[in-house]
Amino acid sequence: MAKGPKKKVAFISSFLPRKCGIATFCSDLIESTRTAAKGDFEPLVVAMRQNDDLKYDDPVKFEIRQNVKKDYICAADYINFSHVDVVSVQHEFGLFGGDAGSYLSLLLNRLKAPVITTLHTLLDDPSPAYHQSLVDVCDASYKVITMNERGVGMLKDIYSVSGKKIQLIPHGIPDLPFVDNNYYKHKFGMEGRRTILTFGLLSKNKGIEVMLRAMPAIVEAEPSVLYIILGMTHPSVLKQDGESYRFSLQRMVKELGCTEHVIFHNRFVRDEELHNFLCAADIYVTPYLNREQLTSGTLSFAVGTGKAVVSTPYWAAIELLADGRGKLVRFGDSKETAEAIIEILRDDSLFYALRRRAYDYGRSRTWSKTGQAYWKLLGAKRLPIRITAKAARSVPKTISSIEVPEPSLAHLEKLTDGTGLYQHARFTIPNREDGYCTDDNARAVIAMTKYYTQYTEPQAIRLMDTYLSFILYSQNSDGSVRNFMNFDGTWQKDEPVNDALGRVLWAFGSVMAKPPSASYVSILKDCFDKSVKHVRNQHPRGMAYSILGMSDYLQQFPGASDIKRQLTTAADTLVALYEKNTLPDWQWFEDVLTYDNAILPLALFVAGLTSGYKEYVDVAEKTCRFLLANTFNGEHFSFVGCKGWYPRGVAKAPFDQQPIEVASTVMMLKAAYDATERPTYLTLQRKAFDWFLGENDLHIPVYDFRSKGCNDALTPSGVNINQGAESMLSFLLSLMTIVEGYAIVDKIETGMDVSLRRERPIDEELPKPVPVEDMPADTTSPKKRVEELT
């Protein structure tokens, strides 16, 4: 009788050769499932990557960079087009990008095949972000698997998951024989010594120092004892702190006088070598510091091989070591740890009783049994049909609204030297004659902060530090800022009026809000505080940039009263300008539309969201609507040209249209959505970005797909082929803002938030301002507040 087609299963997980416990788990799961399926199984792995250059072999078919949102969308398309029958997700919050791993939902909500998710971590007191992230994953899953009885109750009680959706399948254990460990001790040259083992990726939460402090008492009781710490430093710890933790442990060993009784094996071991170490050990120890650990592959392995185990009572250990299968000791208690180990070493009957109970229990959890349990789910003949959206979506909505160029820093690097970012270029060649300016270097800091938040590439930090160094040097001792620097490093005298101070504050604030490390905050706070007193002396756009910086500052320090006052002063000044210049047919802050126009409504949207003043949002939306009415023609954006601008009562200059207008418009429309929750603004935001890609008056791309740079302007005869800093940064800022909004777009498109689904033609008249009821009205007029505060 002919067999039917193999069951095709996509696994979303980290995977070997990545040095990660979940990567090993997924590999073991695939092999055990393959055995259980008896050939009726075709795995396809979508591997989660960090910043590495690992080379993957079969069954890896697709790779997702952890912090690249676009990769999650592309992975969903890849899986859908691969015609898989079911998807198995190995879930751990830190494996996926976004707040609390939320990017995973971008992928899951687009899949056609049913999803079965294995939960490797559950939190009993999650923050709102972690709670929502896990609820979203569970909602997108047909079944959720937990490896621990406690996990079943937590899923029901904390995350409101239906009991029908929950499956309990224990962590698999290697099926090794119950052996006399003396044979294996001989292989490692440890004959005649009592051995204690801890293995796993090394990090501070493993509590190794607790065990080390117990060693002097253990050595005194059993002089032959040898403690083996097996495993390399966790890659995330290595990236952040290097080997400082391991070195501190080695210093502790020396100070305790235990150098002859402790061995560090600093490497990632494969299964066969790990099995040999386990078989050679007398006692296995997990002195972990936190109880909130629901699974432990290392402890499962130790129990399965029949080790006498001493452990702290984290959740996985409580279940695995119940009924006399091991000994539990208090968290952080070296004395009790030593006493438990000494008792086992001295009492052979206790030693062998613990081993036998553990080994017998492990027979019910071998990988062969785990594989059979998974195959029963994955290989089921009748799996539910997945409905991924509450309303049908067109091709433009599912693809064109997401597809954007891959962000590249290649051209930006070309424009950068050890001093900073060159202002201009002849085609793609940096123009040294025009030197540098603080404006561009400040914008570059903002762009790199946004880029690093999404991609965490070291290249972005190197560039950001270069640009930060420039703008820090631009700051005078009184907090004022210089703007133009010659190529020889001298500052120009008699500078023209500029908005550099506002952009510098915006740059400082953006890094403070999302610092790559805490050290940046202390440095930039001092610099910000030195310059913020000059905010009120700026022109309107300088004030707008300052508002954005102050809003970011308040994300880090929400109680900063002086910054709140300065922000209100600047926002009130903009509102007063609007009231002075507005007419029924001219809802604007000035009597002319010039450059970077959208930055003014953007600043008031942000000020309203930050301060809670409804009036700011009202003015922001009125001026936003007016600007859109004069730049969006129903099909594409046609921005105000710099050769004549747009004075009131005069025709708008059609050219040259500059990328800076696009950047502020894209950011303004994102803020407009944040303040009003109108999906129309997100649709228009993407329309604005598409100006770079050819949706403009000339229907030609302004972004250069070959050089990865951006042309300086759209002119009557085509593009200005020079690709300087302002245009490049405008493109990057626009692109990063689009990427930041993927999760919102996905939520609207997939119907997860029905309240946001308002289908309206794009060229329909934009909606009237809607009062933001949650914002308290302020009875003091802006003009009066300006007078009082200045």
* Mean per-residue pLDDT over the chain, rounded: 88
Secondary structure string (H, E, C) spanning 7-45? EEEEEEECCCCCCCHHHHHHHHHHHHHHHHHCCCEEEEE
The amino acid at residue 371 is G
The two tokens of residue 580 are 């002075």
**Segment (H or E) for 146:** strand 143-146
Q: What is the CA radius of gyration of the chain?
A: 31
Please, are residues 278 and 295 in contact by the beta-carbon 8 Å criterion? Answer: no
Q: Is the pTM of this model over 0.75?
A: no
Measure the CA–CA gap between 294 and 569, rounded to whole angstroms. 51
pLDDT the model gives residue 419? 97
pLDDT the model gives residue 4? 63
The two tokens of residue 742 are 């993927």
Measure the CA–CA gap between 691 and 701, rounded to whole angstroms. 7
Cα–Cα distances in Å, from 465 out to 408, 451, 457, 520, 734?
A: 18, 13, 13, 10, 21
- pLDDT tens-place string over residues 405-424: 888 999 999 999 999 999 99
Long-range contacts from 248-253, C-beta under 8 angstroms, 24+ separation: 248/209, 249/208, 249/209, 249/212, 252/209, 252/212, 252/213, 253/212, 253/215
- pLDDT confidence band for 654 (50 / 70 / 90): very high
- 230-249: average pLDDT: 84
- pLDDT tens-place string over residues 767-776: 333 333 343 3
Sheet containing 308-311, strands listed edge to edge, beginning at the edge strand earlier in sequence = 262-265, 226-230, 195-199, 283-286, 308-311, 327-328
- pLDDT confidence band for 3 (50 / 70 / 90): low
pLDDT the model gives residue 749? 54
From 421, 414, 431, 487, select the one nearest 726 (Cα to Cα).
Answer: 421
Task: Give the 3-state secondary structure of residue 454.
Answer: helix
- pLDDT tens-place string over residues 259-269: 999 999 887 77
User: What is the CB neighbour count within 10 angstroms for residue 720?
Assistant: 16
The amino acid at residue 661 is E
Strands 60-65 and 41-49, by their bridges, are: parallel
- 243-268: average pLDDT: 90
pLDDT at 755 over 60: no
- pLDDT confidence band for 179 (50 / 70 / 90): confident
- pLDDT tens-place string over residues 342-368: 999 999 999 999 999 999 998 888 999
- pLDDT tens-place string over residues 374-399: 999 998 877 776 544 433 333 333 33
- pLDDT tens-place string over residues 301-346: 889 889 999 999 999 999 999 999 999 999 999 999 999 999 999 9
Task: Give the 3-state secondary structure of residue 237.
Answer: helix
